[in-house]
Amino acid sequence: MAWNKYGDFVNRVRLAQIPPLVCLLGSDLYLRGQLLEIIEQRLGKGKKVERESFYATESPPQSVLMAARTYSMFAQEKTILVHQFQAWKQNERNEALGILEKPNPSTIVVLVADDPPSEYYEKLSYNKWFKSASGSIEVVDLGSLKPDELKAVIKEVAAKFEKRISEQAVDMLIDLVGARPETLYLELEKFSLYLGSAKMITPELVSELVMGSKLQNIFELADALGDKDIERGLKIYRKMCEANPTNDSFWFLGILGIVRRQYRILLEIQSRLGAERDLKEIMDRYNIPYPLRRDYEQQAERMQKARLFDSFEQLHETEREIKSSAHENNIIIERLIMKLCSP
């Protein structure tokens, strides 16, 4: 068996026989739902598939084993879901693997485990059992989408809502919302409702519905960082936090993505200052509102190119820290702002 990335496992299920025991590692509801749908379509071959659910916090492994070896009364095939699988102790998880000793050909058992902890060493310990188990079962890592797979998911979701989305809008959406398919699904659902019968999701629509007041806030934050004004930078950032009271790492990664995008725009503008046609092309490509365009030029003129490049490095380090540290994300971002404002 194997430790799988999402796309690799989708291809395997569609082309080969489904294994009797699968583990989905990751809390993204959209990817979970997609995989269950693909598994059940393949298992049922167009016919109804019964679904039976257990929660590891409430049911022992023996209950799951008994259900796995019992044929369905309502359909020829069935899937059994074990939610919060990580809640079982290691010996209980090992006992669940006993399903492989006498697999029921009409039943697929899906073990569903939440995201690993964010702290680096806790994450290593958490993943250790699943890595070991991947020697005998299929483990699917839902948190390891490649960039091209993520873009394919966005287009797939848009198509479900009978919409199309441009490449530029896809890139902007990832920058602003982050890389979590579940969150991207909710944004695309919002676009669909807003568009009605219209079909095309454009960068302008993404800018209007996702960025909203964020664009002005991010511009002001970048301006404060460029002026090395720690007090103003922290004040603007805290105002943004008040509108989104959460410690969800995906929100903070989204903020980093928007700041990174802002610096990328400023770097491009800085390289073409004085070339009006080129500046207009850059502003158009990034959908910068006309009232802000002169402000962007002035901001680019004030910021040093070396500082901009250094900022990209610090943003990368901060992103890695948010993904691997047990520290409060809010503290990590505030520390970044102070570093970016340092002399």
pLDDT tens-digit profile of 62-113? 999 999 988 888 888 999 999 999 999 999 999 999 888 888 889 999 999 9
* Pair 272, 300 in one domain: yes
* Pair 104, 221 in one domain: no
* Pair 137, 7 in one domain: yes
Q: Residue 268 belongs to what domain range? A: 214-340
Helix (H, G, I), strand (E, B) or coil at 109: strand
CATH number at residue 82: 3.40.50.300
Asked if 310 and 318 touch (Cβ cutoff 8 Å), the reply is no
Question: Distance between CA atoms of 271 and 317, rounded to whole angstroms?
Answer: 25
Backbone angles phi, psi at 51, to 5 degrees: -125, 125
pLDDT digits (tens, 9 = 90+) for 232-255: 889 888 887 876 666 667 778 877
Backbone angles phi, psi at 168, to 5 degrees: -65, -40
Q: Quick one: pLDDT at residue 326?
A: 62
CATH number at residue 161: 1.10.8.60
The residue-averaged pLDDT of 302-309 equals 84
For the beta carbon of residue 81, count every other beta carbon within 10 angstroms.
19
Q: Of 90, 114, 141, which closes a domain?
A: 141
Within its chain, how far is the Cα of 208 from the centroid?
21
Radius of gyration of the chain (CA): 24
* Pair 106, 15 in one domain: yes
* Pair 170, 66 in one domain: no
111 strand-pairing partners? 23, 82
pLDDT digits (tens, 9 = 90+) for 151-160: 999 999 999 9
Q: How many CA atoms, within 13 angstroms, populate the side-chain half-sphere of residue 32?
A: 18
* Pair 182, 294 in one domain: no
Asked if 18 and 4 touch (Cβ cutoff 8 Å), the reply is no
Residue 333 CB contacts under 8 Å (≥ 6 apart), including other chains: 237, 252, 255, 256, 318
Q: Which residue has the tokens 């095939």?
A: 77
**pTM for this prediction:** 0.68
* Pair 270, 315 in one domain: yes
Tokens, residue 327? 């520290």
> pLDDT class for 295, splitting at 50, 70, 90?
confident
Give the Å distances, CA to CA, from 38 to 31, 32, 33, 49, 188. 11, 10, 9, 12, 21
CATH number at residue 324: 1.20.272.10
* Pair 102, 171 in one domain: no
* Pair 9, 79 in one domain: yes
The residue-averaged pLDDT of 187-207 equals 89
The residue-averaged pLDDT of 171-179 equals 83
Edge-to-edge order in the sheet of strand 107-113? 3-5, 138-141, 21-25, 107-113, 77-83, 49-55
Domains in the chain: how many in total? 3
* Pair 124, 172 in one domain: no
Q: Of 100, 117, 141, which closes a domain?
A: 141
Of 318, 316, 320, 324, the C-alpha closest to 120 is 324
Q: Which residue has the tokens 């309502």?
A: 74
* Pair 187, 227 in one domain: no
Residue 128 CB contacts under 8 Å (≥ 6 apart), including other chains: none
Q: Computed from CA positions of residues 82, 85, 87, 91, in that sequence, does the dihedral angle turn out positive or negative?
A: positive
Q: Of 106, 141, 176, which closes a domain?
A: 141
* Pair 226, 200 in one domain: no
212: left (phi over 0), alpha (psi -120 to 50) or beta: left
